[in-house]
Structures are given as structure tokens and as C-alpha cells.
């Protein structure tokens, strides 16, 4: 169980997911090595033992970076288990790559949101509720 975020590069910056035209084809994020380097710069210490599945485990929590096998990379999915401090790193990664992050819990762009950690906080509340149920 995780808070999931998907990184995409488009032909222009969109304010909402609904603005993306049906014929929009996402652009490439970069080569596998470029994307790995950008992730490692934003999240130092990311483990790339598996080159298509990076794992970061740091102070605010953990992220699994699912790059996939395609080189160059078209999409990057993040499986986040962390506190809201991690969101700044995700936004920094987007700036570094030149892409936008879609919060998959509510289909909104993190960079366009007044409260980019809202989906993460919703996920954490749900997770805490589930954990509490199993403690009983």
C-alpha cells in the first residue's frame, strides 16, 4: 500500500489533468541513466541495484521508483510511504526533469495544487486506520 504519483513530460504545462487533450503524447523523460541521475540528485542514496526499480529510504520515509524497461524513459511512477516532507523532493525532481507529477489519488498535478501533500495525507490517514484495525 502506497501513495502513488506518476511523472510525465508534456508538450506544454497543464493546470489540470482534464486539460490534457486526447491526442497528447507524453514526451520522453530522458535516458535511463539521466532519469536515474536526476532521481539520485533529488533523493541521495537511492539504491539502483535493480536499474528499473530504485529504492530510496531516508528521513521522511521511502519511495520506490518504477522506471520500467524502456530506454529512453517515458513515464516514472513513484510508490511513496513517507510524511509530507517528501513532497518537496518530488517537486524538485519534477523541476530537474522538466515534468509534471500527477497525484493518482485525486488526478491532480502536484505543482498546480494549493496543497500538494493532500493526497499523501489522505493516504496516511487511511493507512493509519487500517493499521489500527489490525492492532485490535
Summary mean pLDDT of the chain: 92
Percent of the chain with pLDDT over 90: 78
CATH of the domain at 130: 3.30.310
Q: How confident is the model at residue 135 (pLDDT cuts 50, 70, 90)?
A: low
* Residue 6 exposed, middle or buried by CB count within 10 Å (0-12, 13-18, 19+): middle
Enclosing domain of residue 81:
3-135
Confidence (pTM): 0.90
pLDDT tens per residue, range 55-77: 999 989 999 999 999 999 999 99
Total count of domains within the chain: 1
- And the C-alpha cell for 14? 497543464
User: What pLDDT shows up at residue 108?
Assistant: 94
Which segment of 32-41, 99-108, 115-124 scores lowest on mean pLDDT?
115-124
Amino acid at each position: 500500500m502506497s501513495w502513488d504519483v506518476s511523472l510525465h513530460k508534456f508538450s506544454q504545462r497543464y493546470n489540470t489533468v482534464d486539460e490534457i487533450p486526447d491526442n497528447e503524447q507524453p514526451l520522453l523523460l530522458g535516458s535511463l541513466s539521466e532519469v536515474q541521475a536526476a532521481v539520485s540528485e533529488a533523493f541521495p542514496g537511492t539504491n539502483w541495484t535493480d536499474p528499473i526499480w530504485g529504492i530510496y529510504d531516508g528521513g521522511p520515509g521511502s519511495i520506490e521508483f518504477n522506471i520500467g524497461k524502456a530506454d529512453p524513459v517515458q513515464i516514472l511512477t513513484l510508490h511513496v510511504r513517507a510524511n509530507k516532507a517528501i513532497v518537496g523532493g518530488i517537486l524538485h525532481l519534477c523541476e530537474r526533469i522538466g515534468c509534471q507529477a500527477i497525484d493518482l489519488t485525486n488526478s491532480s498535478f502536484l505543482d498546480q495544487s494549493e496543497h500538494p501533500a493532500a493526497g499523501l495525507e489522505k493516504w496516511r490517514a487511511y493507512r493509519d486506520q487500517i493499521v489500527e484495525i489490525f492492532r485490535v
